[in-house]
Amino acid sequence: MEQVPCVHCGKFFIPRNRSQNYCTKPDCQRARKAAWQRYKMKNDADYRIQQ
Ligand SMILES: [Zn+2]
């Protein structure tokens, strides 16, 4: 597997799967979780609007 840059800190790391774009640093894992929550909240809002 080739190395990719972390989207949060820019450090190159070897992802465990294709969808992993944050390295394993705690800061970056926190950022990943926060981004996921923003994404989910946005989708939930879209979902509510559609109902
Ligand atoms: Zn990182």
| pLDDT of 1 over the 80 cut | no
How far apart, in whole angstroms, are the C-alpha atoms of residue 46 and residue 4? 32
How far apart, in whole angstroms, are the C-alpha atoms of residue 33 and residue 51? 27
Task: Identify the pLDDT of residue 47.
Answer: 83
Render pLDDT for 6-48 as a digit per residue (tens, 0 to 9): 999 999 999 998 889 999 999 999 999 999 999 999 999 988 8
Three-state SS annotation for the chain = CCCEECCCCCCEECCCCCCCCCCCCHHHHHHHHHHHHHHHHHHHHHHHHHC
User: Distance from the CA of 3 to the center of ligand 1, in angstroms?
Assistant: 12
User: Distance from the CA of 32 to the center of ligand 1, in angstroms?
Assistant: 9
User: Distance from the CA of 19 to the center of ligand 1, in angstroms?
Assistant: 14
Task: Identify the pLDDT of residue 51.
Answer: 77
| pLDDT of 49 over the 90 cut | no
Report the number of distinct structural domains present in the chain. Answer: 1
Task: Identify the pLDDT of residue 50.
Answer: 83
Task: Identify the pLDDT of residue 18.
Answer: 85
Domain ranges, residue 42: 4-50
> Any idea of the CA torsion for 2, 37, 27, 5, to the nearest 10 degrees?
20
